[in-house]
Structure 1
């Protein structure tokens, strides 16, 4: 995916994005410089052996900024030329320079003979300013894909102005008021956090992903400057403010990555481990939790029984917050898949869907929501049957196994910028049995609906056969008999002999029609099939065809077979023999029924003229296939090597049915 620039003046949505590559050499220089500054400063600091005080803790903050933001800046700049990458780089290098300045100051105190230019020693309070202030007051407005709104544009101008003024103030004046500087920083950071939070609530749905965490990260960073706006620091412990700064620097870069990578902003296509993301966010939150806990504990009475009460108050007040934050982090990364009850409730609701399509679509949608996946596609026989989301990368294929058979496959992709690590796979594996059950239920419902449709089709076809026989055969014959009776009535007085002859002919015609009705009845379901079984019923069928001049031989090894399976076998044999009698011009035929393994095989052979290659399937052929499919079997029609045609049906024999 390639996206347009998100800086002010970026193309509007829908416009063709401008191709902009990254700066891999610059990215390498930034990350190398930032880490080198941090490591060199650490070596100098060890040699200087500084006292453990607030300044040392702020050094840790500056060195951490250099390493963390240097890495994030390199990831960004290597793939995209964007102001966010430059701000991150400025923060990293500024933090490294500030850390190096502090370390050198400590070393010169221990070794006064070393050079100690005033400008170099002052950098510890100046170098971090432009990058850190821009990080809070400018960067949040730029983490977007679309053009800036008027409100965002105004906020960005305010943030740039605050950054520029404070940068100039810190470098150009020695009498600057730090409290005013920090107050302006709090104002700019608060405005930026509110704008990101507004986008999270009111922006386009696709662009809200991760903005809650960016707003929280900006707010936390802003909050770390609030104690610095007062001389007394709200009477907090000296270590509290730098510790809170350090915690925010662990959380804020991860929040930026959440937005950039999950939305694939600016064409960033990088996958990171979900575990790494969860760990980074959790470390930041836990550090904040520790700092707040310590501050609350320090503010409470701490002697005797009051000590126990203070500890209890901290545990009651802070522990639920820590657990809530921890759940939020893991839900952000893994979804409700880490909460089995919520995930199972969501999937269970899908099983109550009305249609098969709704059931399968509901399954994929709930799996995607439960595990916070980019896309979930259900594959039946390799063909997508339901899908949620659109994959933008290669999917992970998970087989759905029932018994020894793979009944379906699930193709899943992680959100952009993430990989499915071990924890996500385990959560998916925990849900697979319920998904498999849902798919099996859907397939059973589909099979039942298909069988119902086939049954309705067979019944409709049988009705059509009855209508044709009655309309084309029995109906005209009865009409003819009625006319004949009227003629005989007219001849009774004038020519009794002729009338008697006509009545005898009408009686023969009526006997023939009665036999036709009996034959039709027997072809549908003869009484012999229920009373004597399949063998005698086939013998009666053969006898009727022999009476018509067709020699028929029956070999039935399942003579006592009854029930639906016997009715299906008999129906197939009737249709096959009817085709032989009507179309094949055969002189003889053979009906064979026997068990072969777990199948019942029905063969009807004739010595007729065979089946034309281009002959369309008729009513009888369709009826045979439908009867076989009702039993889970099949019908094959082909030519015999010696001439003639073979109809062969193979029907599974249910367990416990005698053949």
Structure 2
């Protein structure tokens, strides 16, 4: 025995949605199939009633599937009205098939045959008079009069059909056509006033409503003024559009929790079934209009294929557009994203704008761009590395994302993560579009990182200039300035004593001359430290030799080993010199050792600058000073690194790795050398600040 509420026959609760959906599709489908079998058994000859029966068969099959989809997710009036339409179409098809079968056998049709005239009425009219008002997520509000009026018209049409009062039925159909046009207009107004997310598919719904309403117009025309086959042909054409219109709104907007993954196959099936009906109608018309057998019928069939073939292509294109939206044309999406790159006003909003474009175009749940610094792209597209920081995001992921590497050159610079909407998976079309659009996201990420690096470089340049000005100002104010003031006083003393004591005046002049020579040497030292002339004129090795000689004169022994065969770019030579000079100066001042070992060696595509001493050592918790920061900034500007660590048993090592051909550095370009030379000034701030001190 079933448990209460299980939806089985023995339960006492409401039936399960799946159970209701099965009946909504199964019963009308069974009735329509039985009617089709009876119709074929009657050997049809291509009358107008045959075409109407085909319409009823299509209504039972197509709308049964639509009702099953809606009711499987939610018990909504739209689902029940569509199920009523399917049931009416199936019952009408069975009645029509039974009538044709019994008449072909000379039997009495009975009451079942009468359903061919009235069973289709309430559901079909409710389709375009009531359903369009109810296909929405928000409450009806003041628009409640719409479905109420449509329902009254449908009930009146059913009553007139059952009573056999065709004059009254004609009047009701006039009202139905007029109110159908009003309903279509109301849908169009709702489309224009709704936000973009709620307006998706409403254009198709309004068009389907209008076509279905207009399909009843030939019934109101005087007999003989329009072809008899026009009415069923219009009805059948409307069945190709209106079910798709309903599904487009419900499924594209994901109303009532219906997953798009189920809808895609069903939507394609609905339109395919409608297309098959068009083929069948065209074939029947060809059989009626073209007399004869054999060659004549074959020619007629060929004409049908040629005439309806373009219709199939048109339907195929519309199916892809309805199912996938703009995702079926990822080049169009890429072009739109390229336009966003050019129009985005800020670097911060560029990636966010791009991922939003991808998410909305491909109808995803979320799109996220994460940063990473992998050396090489992974072997497969499924990334298992630890996630990097989020650089930009759109939507809120609830499931496991599909991740794609963002590769620039030979380096993976980020990860693109996309999650499909709940209940969906990424189909091949969407996955292919995502693969193509990842290249645009990569370009946006490269632009963003380049802009960030440029901003950091500008800040370093500004800081370097400010620090350089402070150092020069300090040297002028605290060193050269006071000395010049003292020189003036000394000269005044010489002037005061030269007449009375010429010997003392001569001694004072010799002292002042010695001090002047020392200050001149200090100024030259400052100039050489900023950018030694020998570095520009002769290269890195002679500049280092001069650096060693200066330190040896002051009593600090620098042992140089130089092994670089490549012709280094001027920017790289300037950077290596700045790192070496700062490392040697720090060793001379702070290590307490008598000397150090300086090595500048070429190691494949890089230059290694190493300075080692056996002095006091380097504490791991030591705070980096101006000199250490300047060395690291120099190396970073050239794409390299600097490490400072303690040596055992004692001493300090400075190790710098600088690429021989760093990205963005042009060999021998004056502009590049000037820029890097300016950045390098920050690296020698500590040196400039102390050179003038005797």
Distance 2:310 2:368 in 1: 38
Provide closer, same or farther for how the CA distance between residues 538 and 481 of structure 1 changes in structure 2, counting only shifts above 3 A: same
Post-superposition Cα deviations, 1:291-345, rounded to whole Å, max 9, x if no partner, equal 99999xx99xxxxxxxxxxxxxxxxxx9999998876665555555666885565
Contact residue 569 and residue 667 of structure 2 kept, 8 A: no
Deviations 1:362-418 (A, max 9, x none): 544555676676765544434444456666766554444444433444445678898
Match of 2:482 among 467, 473, 476: 476
Give the structure 2 partner of residue 220 of structure 1.
211
Equivalent residue number for residue 107 of structure 1: 101
1:417–1:206 CA distance, 2 compared to 1 (3 A) = farther
Q: Please report how far the alpha carbon of residue 553 of structure 1 lies from its aligned counterpart in structure 2 after TM superposition.
A: 0.8
Structure 1 residue 504 displacement after superposition: 3.7
> CA 1:397 to 1:561, structure 2 compared with 1: closer, same or farther past 3 Å?
closer
Within a 5 Å distance, the mapping from 1:45-444 to structure 2 comes to 45-111=39-105, 116-118=109-111, 120-150=112-142, 152-172=143-163, 177-232=168-223, 234-238=225-229, 240-272=230-262, 277=267, 280=270, 330-335=320-325, 345-353=335-343, 355-357=346-348, 359-361=350-352, 363-364=354-355, 367=358, 377-381=368-372, 382-387=388-393, 396-412=402-418, 421-427=427-433, 436-437=442-443, 439-444=445-450
CA contact (8 A) 1:247 1:283 kept: no
Choose which of 590, 601, 613 in structure 1 pairs with 2:608.
601
* DSSP-derived class of the 2:616 partner: coil
1:522 paired with 2:528, answer yes
Query: Displacement, 1:471?
Result: 3.3
Q: Identify which range, 137-146 or 499-508, moves more after superposition.
A: 499-508
Deviates further, 25-34 or 485-494 = 485-494
TM-score, length-scaled by structure 2: 0.78
CA distance in 2, matches of 1:70, 1:319: 27
Matched, 1:637 2:628: no
**CA-CA distance at 1:64 after TM superposition:** 1.5
Are the equivalent residues in 2 in contact too, given 1:136–1:188 (CA < 8 A)?
Answer: no
Q: Compute the displacement of 1:203 (Å).
A: 2.4
CA contact (8 A) 1:335 1:369 kept: no
CA distance in 2, matches of 1:607, 1:218: 90
Instruction: Give secondary structure in 2 for the equivalent of 1:78.
Output: helix
Aligned with 2:594 (options 584, 587, 598): 587
Q: State the match for 1:557 in structure 2.
A: 563
**In structure 2, distance between residues paired with 1:467 and 1:347:** 51
Cα 1:286/1:52, change in 2 over 3 Å = closer
Q: Is the 8 A contact 2:128 2:209 kept in 1?
A: yes
What per-residue deviation string (whole Å, max 9, x for no partner) do you get for residues 563-598 of structure 1? Answer: 221111111111112222222222221110001121
Moved more, 103-112 or 627-636: 103-112
The 1:250–1:175 alpha-carbon spacing in structure 2 relative to 1, beyond 3 Å, is closer
User: Using the alignment, how far apart are the partners of 2:398 and 2:51 within structure 1?
Assistant: 44
How many Å separate the matches in 2 of 1:452 and 1:153? Answer: 63
Which shows bigger deviation, 51-60 or 419-428?
419-428
Please list the CA deviations of residues 406-446 of structure 1 after superposition, one character each: whole Å capped at 9, or x if unmatched: 34444456788986544455555555556655554554454
- SS of 2:75 mapped into structure 1: coil
CA distance in 2, matches of 1:624, 1:328: 63
Instruction: Give me the whole-angstrom Cα distance separating, in 1, the residues matched to 2:234 and 2:269.
Output: 18
Q: Distance in 1 between matches of 2:119 and 2:173?
A: 15
In structure 2, the CA distance between the partners of 1:471 and 1:399, relative to structure 1 (3 Å rule), is same
Q: Counterparts of 1:293 and 1:520 in 2: how far apart (Å)?
A: 98
Would you say the 8 A contact 1:44–1:107 is kept in 2? yes
1:15 corresponds to? none
Looking at structure 1, the residues matched to 657 and 163 of structure 2 have their Cα atoms a distance apart, in angstroms, of 96
Q: Which moved more, 1:347-356 or 1:45-54?
A: 347-356
Measured after TM superposition, the shift of residue 218 of structure 1 is 0.8
**Deviation, structure 1 residue 542:** 1.7
Query: Deviation of residue 84 (structure 1)?
Result: 0.8
For the residue of structure 1 that corresponds to 2:622, the secondary structure is coil
Kept in 2: contact 1:545–1:551 (CA 8 A): yes
1:228/1:78 CA distance change after superposition, 3 Å: same
Distance apart, 1:276 and its partner CA = 6.4
Matched, 1:548 2:565: no
Instruction: Indicate how the Cα distance of structure 1 residues 75 and 344 shifts in structure 2: closer, same or farther if over 3 A, else same.
Output: closer
* 1:47–1:21 CA distance, 2 compared to 1 (3 A): closer
Match of 2:545 in 1: 539
| CA shift for structure 1 position 129 | 1.6
When normalised by structure 1's length, the TM-score is: 0.82
Partners of 2:166 and 2:339 in 1: how far apart?
Answer: 67
Q: Report the Cα offset of residue 499 of structure 1.
A: 4.6
Paired residues of 2:614 and 2:650 also in contact (CA < 8 A): yes
- Partner residue of 2:34 out of 40, 46, 49: 40
Instruction: Report how far residue 509 of structure 1 moved.
Output: 2.8
**Cα RMSD after superposing both structures:** 4.0
Deviation at 1:232, TM superposition (A): 2.4
CA shift in 2, pair 1:335/1:129, >3 Å: closer
Per the alignment, in what secondary structure is the counterpart of residue 46 of structure 2?
coil
**Of 635-644 and 408-417, the range deviating more from structure 2:** 408-417
Distance in 2 (alpha carbons) for counterparts of 1:286 and 1:224: 19
Alignment size in residue pairs: 618
Distance 2:169 2:577 in 1: 100
Whether the 8 Å CA contact 2:58–2:274 is kept in 1: the answer is: no
Deviates more, 1:134-143 or 1:484-493: 484-493
Q: Which residue of 2 aligns with 1:9?
A: none
Unaligned runs of 5+ in 2: 1-13, 290-307, 373-387, 669-694
Return the alpha-carbon distance in structure 1 between the equivalents of residues 561 and 572 of structure 2.
Answer: 17
Distance 1:179 1:283 in 2: 31
Separation (CA, whole Å) in 1 of partners of 2:127 and 2:495? 115
Contact 1:380 1:409 in 2 (8 A): yes
Once the two structures are overlaid, the 10-residue window that deviates more, 79-88 or 465-474, is 465-474
Aligned partners of 2:259 and 2:424 also within 8 Å: no
Task: Report the Cα offset of residue 623 of structure 1.
Answer: 1.1
Which residue number corresponds to residue 629 of structure 2?
A: 622
Deviation, 1:627, is 1.1
The answer to whether the 8 A contact 1:397-1:412 is kept is yes
List per-residue Cα deviations over 1:45-93 (Å, max 9, x = no partner): 3334344312122112112111211111111112112111111111111
